[in-house]
Amino acid sequence: MTNDIERILITEEQIYKRVRELACDINDYYGGKPIVAVFVLKGSAFFASDLIRWLNMDVTMEFMSVSSYGMESVSSGKLTIKRDIDTDIMGKHVLIIEDIIDTGITLSTLERLFRQRGAADIKVVTMLSKPSRRIVPFAADFTGFEVPDEFVVGYGLDYADKYRNLPYIASLKRHIYENNGEE
Ligand code: PRP
């Protein structure tokens, strides 16, 4: 698995430090108010788990799995929800936790969905953002790192459902994704 790595972009130590900084900012923002933390699966699993253990308010954990279909989902406001949250978020403070914002389509659509469901407040925290890839303008409220337009894996991020369990964030060798993983 590690033979497929081009270079490490963000080390385990950098991730650990940044997650704690983000948690401090989030704690300051909420000032002790309870929140619903929505893990957007699968990519955010590690980041969200690491982040919420540093939060100092009551946190309800919720899990969501979605697929978006490009611009169509933005204009229609529809996402395919593969797994929905269990909680009624009416009047609640919702923190959406993502691993990466790329085109911005998933998050802009998800945020609209939670607004329609009556959340009192919606904030988004993402570990990574690739601003150069945006199709719709979207800025997270809390961002761990901005990354260049490279194929990144690890710490939850995958290629063909592999590499999620790498403890760091790395770029993948070009031949892996250009040849569908064949040598
Ligand atoms: C990734 C990521 C976001 C979405 C961002 O999920 O976790 O949900 O893509 O892309 P966008 O800004 O272009 O909409 P993915 O569909 O790869 O699923 P996964 O988390 O299960 O890997």
The CATH number of whichever domain residue 72 belongs to comes to 3.40.50.2020
Instruction: Classify residue 175: in a domain, yes or no.
Output: no
pLDDT, the chain, mean: 93
pLDDT tens per residue across span 66-97: 987 777 767 676 789 999 999 999 999 999 99
Candidates 92, 98, 156; CA nearest to 129 is 98
In a domain, residue 2? The reply is no
63 domain-assigned: yes
> Does pLDDT of 20 surpass 60?
yes
DSSP code string of 98-125: EEEESSSHHHHHHHHHHHHTT-SEEEEE
Is the pLDDT reported for residue 183 higher than 50? no
- Note whether residue 133 is domain-resident: yes
Centre of ligand 1 from the C-alpha of residue 24, in Å: 25
Question: How sure is the predictor about 179, in pLDDT bands with cuts at 50, 70 and 90?
Answer: confident
Residue 165 lies in a domain: no
Better-predicted residue by pLDDT, 64 or 180: 64
pLDDT digits (tens, 9 = 90+) for 46-73: 999 999 999 999 999 999 999 877 777 6
Instruction: Please tell me the predicted confidence (pLDDT) of residue 180.
Output: 64
Q: DSSP state, 90?
A: T
- The model carries a pTM of 0.94
Chain-centroid distance, C-alpha 44: 5
- One-letter identity of residue 28: D
Confidence band of 122 (pLDDT split at 50, 70, 90): very high
Given the CA of residue 68, which atom of ligand 1 is nearest to it? Answer: 14
Q: Reply yes or no on whether the pLDDT at 182 is more than 70.
A: no
Q: Which residues form the domain of 136? A: 12-150
How much distance in Å is there from the Cα of 139 to the middle of ligand 1?
15
Does any domain span residue 173?
no
Any idea what DSSP says for residue 39?
E
- Residue 156 Cβ inside 6 Å of ligand 1? The answer reads no
Residue nearest to atom 7 of ligand 1 (CA): 43
Q: Is the CB of 131 under 6 A from ligand 1?
A: no
Domains contained in the chain, number? 1
Give yes or no: 102 in active site.
Answer: yes
On whether residue 144 sits in a domain, the answer given is: yes
Is residue 52 within 6 Å of ligand 1 at its C-beta?
no
DSSP state of 159: B
Confirm whether 110 is domain-assigned: yes
Atom 13 of ligand 1: nearest residue by CA position: 103
